[in-house]
Chains A and B, each alone.
Chain A
Amino acid sequence: MPSMREIKEKIASTKQMSKITKAMQMVAAARLSRAQLSAQNYAAYAGKLREVVASIASAMPKGGDSKHPMLATRPVKKTAYLVLTENRGLAGAYDSNVLKYAQNRIREKHQSPDEYTVIVTGKIGLKFFTRRNYPVVFSKTDVADEINFDDAVAFARKVIDLFNTKKVDELHLIYNHFVNAISQTVEDKQLLPLTNLTEGPAKKTNYIYEPDEDEVLKNLLPLYAEGQIYGALLDAKAAEQAARMTAMRSASDNASDIIDHLSLSYNRARQAAITQEITEIVGGAAALE
C-alpha cells in the first residue's frame, strides 16, 4: 500500500490534470458553436450552388460533346484520396477512425502504390501516412481553428489542379462528418469527376444560359468543387471540436473518478496509520503491566 504522502501527491496531480481537461472542454465547446455557425452559413450557399449545378447538369444531353472535363468519367489510372485529420490529437478516436477507414479502403481497392496517391490535412494524418510509406503528394498542416475561405480555396485549387492536369483521374474525400455534438461519422465522397449531381428531386426549370451553357459550366463547376472541399473542411472542423469536447468531458469525468478513488485510499491509509499507532500504544502499555 502506498504511503499517505504518495497518495496525497497523486490526488494533487490528478486535480491539476482535471483542471486542464475541463478548460479544454470549455474551449472546444466554444469553438464548436462557432464552427457550427459557419457550417450553417455555408450550407445555404452550398445548397444554392448545388441546385444550379444540378439543374444545368440534368438539362445537359447525356454523353454530349459539350461535356465539361469535370463531369466526364475517364479510365481510372490513379486515384487520389483527400483525407482530413487534425493537428493536435486529444480528440478521442477522431483521427484514428478516418485513418483506419482510409487505410482499409486503399488496401481493398489497390494492389500497388502506383494506383493511388494521398493528400492529407493535419499533422496526425501526415505522420500516419508518411510512417507507413504511402505516397503523399502534398499536405496542409496549418488549418486554423477558424477556417479562412481564401486559404481553403487556395488549397482546394491545388487539389483540383491535380485532376485538371490529369495527374489523377478520380478524387475521393474522406473526413469526419459532424452529426451532432456527440457523434461523428466517417464520410467518403467522390468529389471528382462530378457524377452524382442529378441525384435527388431536381426541380425542372428551363434556364437560359448567358452567354451559353459551356461558359456557365466553366465558371460554375470549379466554384462548386472548391465549395465542396471548403464545406468538408468546415464540417470536419465542427466534428473535430465536438470530438475533442466529448473526449475532454470523459477525461474530466475519469479524473474525478480517480480522485474519489484516491481519496478513499488516502482515508483508509490514514485510518490504518491511526489504528496502528493505537495498537502500538496499547501494546506498549500491555507490555508494561
Chain B
Amino acid sequence: MSTVHTDIVTPAGKVYEGDVHMVCVRATSGEMGVLPHHIPLVAPLEIALVRLKHEDEKKVDYVAVHGGFIQVSRDKVTILSEAAEKKDDIDVARAEKARDLARKQLGTLHETSPGYDSAMRRLKRSELRISTAAIKEDAVPNK
C-alpha cells in the first residue's frame, strides 16, 4: 500500500511529520479524505479534527487543527494552520477553562456584537481540544 508524506506546520514549528496512507480533514466545503497520488489541491479548513491513517489501517493519529488550510501537491500533503496540537499534547484543564470562559462571554454577547465571532472561535477551539483529547486510542473509527 502506498503512503504520502504529510506535514502539519504551524508558526511555532512542525507539529506532525510522517508517511500516512490517508489524511482526513474537514474543509470549509465538506469532509475530505486525501489518498496518495491525489491531484494538487488547496482548500481552507474548518476548526476540526484531522485524522491521519497509517498503512496498517489500525494506527490512527489525531491532530486538532484550528483552521488554516490543506495543500496537496504531487508527492506530499501539507497542512498549514495558526495552531495545531497532537492528541497527546493537549492540555485538557486549560481547554476546559477556556471553554467555560468562552461560554460565559457568549452568554453576554449578541450575535452582532463585536466580540461575538472571536468568542465563538475560542469556544470551537476549546471544544475541539476537549473532544480530541477524549478519543479512545484503541477503538478503530469507521467514520
Contact = CB atoms under 8 A, between A and B. Distances in A.
Nearest to A220: B69
Contacts of B83: 149
Interface string B68-96: 11010110001010110000000000000
A215 to B, nearest CB: 7
B12 interface: yes
B106 interface: no
Contacts of A46: 11
Interface string A9-46: 00000000000000000000000000000100110111
A41 B43 contact: no
Contacts of B14: 41, 44
A210 B43 contact: yes
A210 B9 contact: no
Given A208-B40, A210-B41, A216-B42, A48 B80 contact: yes
Contact of A216 (B12, B69, B80, B82): B69
Interface in B20-34: 27-29, 32
A273 interface: no
A274 interface: no
A219 B67 CA distance: 9
A38 B73 CA distance: 27
A49 B80 contact: yes
Nearest to B10: A45
A42 B80 CA distance: 11
Chain B: interface residue count, which band?
Answer: 20 to 34
Given A38-B12, A56-B42, A223 B74 contact: no
Contact of A211 (B10, B12, B29): B29
B74 A149 contact: no
A210 B40 contact: no
Contacts of B82: 149, 153, 223
Q: Is the interface of A mostly helix, strand, loop or mixed?
A: helix
B114 to A, nearest CB: 12
A44 B9 contact: yes
B80 to A, nearest CB: 6
Interface in A205-223: 205-211, 215-216, 219-220, 223
A56 B42 CA distance: 9
B11 A208 contact: no
B44 A205 contact: no
B39 interface: yes
Nearest to B118: A154
Contacts of B73: 205
A216 B43 contact: yes
Most chain B CB within a 10 A radius of its CB, from A210, A211, A230? A210
Most chain A CB within a 10 A radius of its CB, from B42, B43, B44, B83? B42
Most chain A CB within a 10 A radius of its CB, from B11, B28, B83? B11
A52 B28 contact: no
B13 A44 contact: yes
A43 B13 CA distance: 8
Contacts of A42: 11-13
B11 A230 contact: yes
B93 to A, nearest CB: 19
A217 B14 CA distance: 23
28 contacts: A41-B13, A42-B13, A45-B9, A48-B71, A48-B80, A52-B71, A149-B12, A149-B82, A205-B73, A206-B40, A207-B71, A208-B41, A208-B42, A210-B27, A210-B29, A210-B32, A210-B42, A211-B29, A211-B43, A215-B28, A215-B44, A219-B44, A219-B69, A220-B69, A223-B68, A223-B80, A223-B82, A230-B11
Given A45-B13, A208-B42, A216-B44, 14 more contacts: A41-B12, A45-B10, A52-B80, A205-B73, A205-B74, A207-B40, A207-B42, A208-B40, A208-B41, A211-B43, A215-B28, A216-B43, A219-B69, A227-B11
Per CB-CB distance, the 9 closest pairs between chain A and chain B, nearest first, are A41-B13, A210-B43, A219-B44, A211-B29, A207-B40, A208-B41, A207-B42, A45-B9, A45-B11
